[in-house]
Amino acid sequence: GTRALSRILTEDFGVDLGLSELARDPVGMKQRIEEQIRRDPEVSAVGVSVSDDSTGVIRIIVRARMTTGSEVSAEYRADSGGVRLV
């Protein structure tokens, strides 16, 4: 569940998730995150929202339906220190 989402975001996007890219193209990054999460065999559906605030912190909210039928949601914050689960 949440562990799978965390693995996908931190391992698959930890280095690749550039803040400048997020700020410049939040829609494109949202689509990339959704596509990456959909590749996980445990995930049957996913929704992602990306927003930023005036302090430069970018919020990434992920909601996924797992193949078991359970729903998982997680919020991540990205800033100059990287991406982390809130």
Once rounded to an integer, what is the mean pLDDT over residues 7-14? 56
- pLDDT value at residue 44: 92
pLDDT tens per residue, range 31-44: 888 888 888 888 89
DSSP-H helix ranges across the chain: 2-7, 13, 19-24, 26-38
- pLDDT value at residue 14: 45
pTM of this structure: 0.71
pLDDT tens per residue, range 33-77: 888 888 888 889 999 998 887 787 888 888 989 899 988 888 888
